[in-house]
């Protein structure tokens, strides 16, 4: 099985460009002047009215959990102390590129979002948290072009799957390791420097800034989302799409109109079969079907590939990225990964499906973060969505799987779209 290595394209499926997070020139980094001309950094409504507009529009977080943004903002505002706002741009999912693209291409939109969130919560300090050096350069330059209303510091971390988990973010900013911490307390209760902290995905903050600039378009802004679409065969695509688009239409936009399923939500939404591609892109509809939008990364299963190989790739990556703080996570992800490896190579015993089914039911919720849940959920979804493929692997080796190297997490990685530096001083 070969791997698509073509550059990621950028495309909008929105009917009207106003209120789009892609902006007018998604192929280049906007400067402060360009952003201000588009309506950014303008005088917005009062913080209370902006919060009402966010609530009314139904904006949800874009980091994975989809939590209502207005509820999170109120929790931090009402938590006492002096709040802190963190733009979380540490994109741990290998199949997602939207956050790094936003930080590289639209740094002022993200910084404007930090300022608006600070006005709502009363925060006196902001942070941009990331691991991408290109994005860090562009954010620092944007801070120099248009200093925000509160001090904003860039905090860099090593790129890992768990580094973007909200308690990992807080620990790293507080000077510790970027590893998940026990909960409670959650960051909105006690976070950076012990203060109530809003840890918000950068796309969430970008949409908050757009609602501030275009309150009349709040519903449209809140119900559009960035998606990273990929497959093993066709070039990946970063797309902005409205809720309600059928998944098979998204597959067609990416070049995989003949897809027979998908790996949803990065590594968290599990595998779904062909019938699920008739579902519409809407968090409630996806949840009702037992899957999720997660971080907005969807990997379509194109003919010529194998769902068992995809499941093994996903769990192989998760096992390698375990923080190794929880014994159940270390042993659980390793056991699932080894069983899927044996299944992929045609060497699994007859009890393999029973063990995978048992782990899928008993391991979720037992780790400090969602990594173990993702591994167990991937195994369970493979059994549900592709039982025939699993049975076939029990009786014979698979030619597709045999052509894959032993470790395959790298096959899920999608390159960040090209973002030209429009300044004379290029990013190193």
Residue range 159-202, pLDDT digits in tens:
999 999 999 999 999 999 999 998 889 999 999 999 999 999 99
What pLDDT sits at residue 411? 84
Q: Which of 258-267, 329-338, 414-423 has the lowest mean pLDDT?
A: 414-423
**Topology, domain 307-412:** de novo design (two linked rop proteins) (1.20.1440)
Which residue shows structure tokens 């330059």? 141
* pLDDT score, position 396: 80
pLDDT at 421: 82
Backbone φ/ψ region at 236: left (φ over 0), alpha (ψ -120 to 50), beta: beta
* Predicted confidence (pLDDT) at residue 387 exceeds the cutoff of 60: yes
- Judged against a pLDDT cut of 60, whether residue 151 lies above it is answered with yes
The residue-averaged pLDDT of 282-307 equals 94
CB 148 within 8 A of CB 111: yes
How far, in Å, are 47, 203, 231, 314, 398 from residue 265 at the CA level? Answer: 32, 15, 14, 12, 26
Please state which CATH number belongs to domain 221-300: 3.10.20.600
Tens digit of each residue's pLDDT (9 = 90 or more) over 23-34:
888 888 999 999
Task: Classify residue 284 as exposed, middle or buried by CB count within 10 Å of its CB (0-12, 13-18, 19+).
Answer: exposed
In the chain, CATH 3.40.50.11540 covers: 20-213
Q: In the chain, which segments carry CATH 3.10.20.600?
A: 221-300
Residue closest to 169 by CA, chosen among 86, 66, 59: 86
pLDDT at 176: 96
Please report, rounded to a whole number, the percentage of residues in the chain having pLDDT higher than 70. Answer: 96
Domain with CATH 1.20.1440 in the chain: 307-412
The pLDDT value recorded for residue 27 is: 87
Question: What number is the average pLDDT over the span 14-24?
Answer: 88
Band of pLDDT at residue 4, cut at 50, 70 and 90? very low
pLDDT in tens, 108-142: 999 999 999 999 999 999 999 999 999 999 999 99
pTM of the model: 0.94
CATH among 3.40.50.11540, 3.40.920.10, 3.40.630.30, 3.65.10.10 for 20-213: 3.40.50.11540
* pLDDT value of residue 183: 87
Average pLDDT taken over every residue of the chain: 92
């Amino acid at each position: 099985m070969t791997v698509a290595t073509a550059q990621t394209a950028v495309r909008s499926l929105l009917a009207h460009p106003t209120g789009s997070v892609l902006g007018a020139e998604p192929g280049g980094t906007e400067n402060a002047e360009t952003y201000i001309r588009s309506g950014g950094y303008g005088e917005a409504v009062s913080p209370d009215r902006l919060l009402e507009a966010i609530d009314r529009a139904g904006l949800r977080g874009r980091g994975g959990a989809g939590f209502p943004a207005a509820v999170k903002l109120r929790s931090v505002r009402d938590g006492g102390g002096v709040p802190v706002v963190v733009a979380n741009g540490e994109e741990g999912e290998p199949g997602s590129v939207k956050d790094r693209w936003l930080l590289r291409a639209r740094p002022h939109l993200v910084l404007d979002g930090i300022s608006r969130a600070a006005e709502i919560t009363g925060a006196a300090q902001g942070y941009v948290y990331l691991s991408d050096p290109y994005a860090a350069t562009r954010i620092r330059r944007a801070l120099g072009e248009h200093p925000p209303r509160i001090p904003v510091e860039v905090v860099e971390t090593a790129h890992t799957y768990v580094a973007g988990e909200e308690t990992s973010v807080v620990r790293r900013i507080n000077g510790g390791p970027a590893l998940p911490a026990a909960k409670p307390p959650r960051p909105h209760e006690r976070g950076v420097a012990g203060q109530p902290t809003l840890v918000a995905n950068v796309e969430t903050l970008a949409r908050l800034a757009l609602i501030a600039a275009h309150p009349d378009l709040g519903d449209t802004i809140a119900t559009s989302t960035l998606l990273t679409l990929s497959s093993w065969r066709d070039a990946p695509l970063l797309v902005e799409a409205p809720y309600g688009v059928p998944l098979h239409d998204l597959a067609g936009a990416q070049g995989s109109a003949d897809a027979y399923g998908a790996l949803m939500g990065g590594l968290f939404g599990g595998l779904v079969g062909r019938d699920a591609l008739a579902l519409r892109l809407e968090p409630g509809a996806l949840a009702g079907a037992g899957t999720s939008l997660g971080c907005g990364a969807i990997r379509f299963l194109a003919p010529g590939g194998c769902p068992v190989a995809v499941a093994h790739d996903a769990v192989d990556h998760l096992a390698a990225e375990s923080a190794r703080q929880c014994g159940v996570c270390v042993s659980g992800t390793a056991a699932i990964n080894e069983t899927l490896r044996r299944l992929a190579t045609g060497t699994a015993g007859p009890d393999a499906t029973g063990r995978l089914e048992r782990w899928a039911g008993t391991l979720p919720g037992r780790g400090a973060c969602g990594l173990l849940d993702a591994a167990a959920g991937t195994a369970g979804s493979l059994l549900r969505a592709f039982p025939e493929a699993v049975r076939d692997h029990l009786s014979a080796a698979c030619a597709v799987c045999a052509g894959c190297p032993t470790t395959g997490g790298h096959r899920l990685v999608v390159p960040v779209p090209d973002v030209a530096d429009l300044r004379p001083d290029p990013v190193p």
